[in-house]
Amino acid sequence: MLARDDNKPQGFSNATSRFIRWLWMGLVVLALVLAVTLLNNNFSFHRPSGGAVNAQLDHALDAAIHWIKDNPEISERNPSMMYMIADMERMSHDPRLQAVLEHYHKHYLAYPATPFDFAWLRLIDRKAEVPVIHVPDLHGELNEFAWGAYAVAPDKISLSPGDRANMFSPTRYIWGARQHQLLALVIYRDYNGSSPELDNTMNYLAEKIARDAHYDSRITDSYIQRTAFVLAAGRPDLIRRRWVERILDHQNADGSWNSCWYGWCRGIFEFRIVSGGDGHATVQAAWALTMLKYRYPQWMAADAHPDHFFDRSGSLCGVAERAGRGSGCFVGGSSARLWITASATKALPAAL
């Protein structure tokens, strides 16, 4: 009996040691999985030819536009998506997109359901008359519709001073809300012109969104959104080629994209089974690809892109000039990149 009692502490110690050993092994495996996931999300381990990439992009964009044209009612419910389609049409002059805009004008805007619908007329005609609309104080809550309406018609849409300050604040919102804030500012700058303060805020937001993109490897609606919105903000230098490759590789056969990645959606704890393509994700992906093809062709034409895992040096100069914001040059390798602009820069708040 005494011998059996003497063995109890030894047995307990052995069990504890095994548990700790298995725990450490589990942590090591988890760390390796995370490391591989991050590498796969940010670096290309193979280098397809420029012609192959351009051919894939052209095919993906053509299929996506077909899907958008065949499903116009999905986009028409969302004015932000219609702005993206209008911008795509301005760049590409694709008659299929023009047909979508005409359908939106005749079958949706012709029967306004809310006062904001009058503001969306400016998505089709930038000189359209808009009645004066006073938006109630949102108390800091993000309202994409109110911000979008204000962006296209700041002369007619009235926001409270606090809500307007939040819209232009570089530090008020984080994560997904920051992405929608950047889109509102993209639309505002498109319709009303730039300023040093606006450009600095948009640069700061774009850099934070690109930082998030490095660590979130799930090909969700939000993943596609980050690339599209950062490109729209005029910062192609922040976009890794690997992100575009992964977006292209996850297109559905019918030309659409899914909003969730194997049932894992944009929220960290958001899971659901979704069948069929998602209009939101598809329009955003098509918008991103259109910008790469027409607005930033030098980005796509780079022979030695700094995102390649085995390329530690290399540069990409001559990015398409952005009206009113100078021109720039990519400098650096896979871990560092500088964006040099012709305009003066202003100190920004410290990282969140």
Among candidate residues 151, 174, 179, the one with its CA nearest the CA of residue 164: 151
Question: Helices 95-104 and 50-70: crossing angle, nearest 10°?
Answer: 30
pLDDT tens digits, 88-98: 999 999 999 99
Q: What is the DSSP string of 73-142?
A: HHHHT-HHHHHHHHHHHHHH--HHHHHHHHHHIIIIITS-SSTHHHHGGGGT-TT-----EEPPP-TT--
Higher pLDDT, 288 or 270: 288
Minimum mean pLDDT range among 19-28, 143-152, 304-313, 316-325 = 316-325
pLDDT tens digits, 110-124: 888 888 889 999 999
Higher pLDDT, 75 or 344: 75
Statement: residue 305 has pLDDT above 90 = no
Q: Are 267 and 217 in contact (CB under 8 A)?
A: no
122-130: Cβ within 8 A, 24+ apart: 122/152, 122/153, 122/191, 123/79, 123/82, 123/83, 123/86, 123/152, 124/86, 126/152, 126/191, 130/155, 130/156, 130/157
Write down the pLDDT at residue 89: 97
Per-domain residue ranges for the chain?
1-42, 50-304
pLDDT tens digits, 228-259: 999 999 999 999 999 999 999 999 999 999 88
304 DSSP assignment: S
Indicate the SS3 state at residue 255: coil
pLDDT tens digits, 158-209: 898 988 999 999 989 888 889 999 999 999 999 999 999 999 999 999 999 9
Q: Are 313 and 134 in contact (CB under 8 A)?
A: no
Rounded mean pLDDT, 290-319: 62
Statement: residue 322 has pLDDT above 80 = no
Fold of 50-304: Glycosyltransferase (1.50.10)
For the chain, give the mean pLDDT.
80
Structure tokens belonging to residue 160: 């409270």
Statement: residue 351 has pLDDT above 60 = no
Question: Helices 279-290 and 50-70: crossing angle, nearest 10°?
Answer: 140
Write down the pLDDT at residue 38: 76
Q: Are 85 and 75 in contact (CB under 8 A)?
A: yes
Q: Are 189 and 168 in contact (CB under 8 A)?
A: no
Q: Are 158 and 132 in contact (CB under 8 A)?
A: yes
What share of the chain in percent tops pLDDT 90? 44
Question: How many Å apart are CA 42 and CA 116, to the nearest integer?
Answer: 40
